[in-house]
A and B are shown apart, each in its own frame.
Chain A
Amino acid sequence: NAGVMQNPRHLVRRRGQEARLRCSPVKGHSHVYWYRQLPEEGLKFMVYLQKENIIDESGMPKERFSAEFPKEGPSILRIQQVVRGDSAAYFCASSPLAGQSHNEQFFGPGTRLTVL
């Protein structure tokens, strides 16, 4: 019974490089959420995706950030031309169905991105 998996767990990039973060949801879950956690802060919502669709990207910066959740394969959060301010822990969560009375989200272990 694998939970949410994220890789890599740690990622180091130099300014200007690209970062790709992967998230495999719990088997059978079709809803994926990405959150960012800066040091000493809570989780901030970035984007909510269902298979092949972005449902809500209101928390995602309009430039350099993109996310996808293809029909096959993991969800990808992509950050282009990273800057030092992108250094954070990025958590992915999945849930089985939205619109239900209980929508517990299961979190992955996170990817810690460090931008040098």
Chain B
Amino acid sequence: EDKVVQSPLSLVVHEGDTVTLNCSYEVTNFRSLLWYKQEKKAPTFLFMLTSSGIEKKSGRLSSILDKKELFSILNITATQTGDSAVYLCAVEVGAAGKSTFGDGTTLTVKP
């Protein structure tokens, strides 16, 4: 059975801190790994990673994939209160594009 595990489950930091969120997976027929941000409604897409070692960046957020060790990290630097959300990691498997999601990391950024 495909499995995606995120850690930590929750995290509380202060504005300006840097955080690292982890996602490990065990799946058959890996296609890509995706990060989403969910703020009380629909998840919004952040990154898609398919190749090992290539960092994707968007502003203060960055992510990288290690296909040998089967994990990805999402980094957020200089956190702001608006970064407070649940961050979901999903692994797309097979040709059908079915995604298996982790349970998410709840990030709370305090002023």
**Residues of A participating in the B interface, judged by any CB pair closer than 8 Å:** 4, 31, 33, 35, 40-45, 48, 55-56, 58, 91, 95, 98-99, 101-110
Contacts and interface: CB of A to CB of B under 8 A. Distances in A.
Given A43-B88, A107-B43, A110-B42, A98 B95 contact: yes
B97 A91 contact: no
A33 B103 CA distance: 18
Report, as a range, how many residues of chain B touch the other chain: 20 to 34
B103 to A, nearest CB: 4
Contacts, number: 65
Given A102-B48, A103-B31, A103-B32, A109 B100 contact: no
A43 B98 contact: no
A103 B101 contact: no
26 contacts: A33-B97, A33-B98, A40-B103, A41-B103, A42-B88, A42-B102, A43-B43, A43-B90, A43-B101, A45-B100, A48-B98, A55-B96, A56-B98, A98-B96, A98-B97, A99-B95, A99-B97, A101-B32, A101-B50, A102-B32, A102-B48, A103-B97, A106-B45, A107-B42, A109-B41, A110-B41
B44 interface: yes
Contacts of A35: 101
A91 B72 CA distance: 24
Nearest to B94: A56
B101 A44 contact: yes
A105 B99 contact: yes
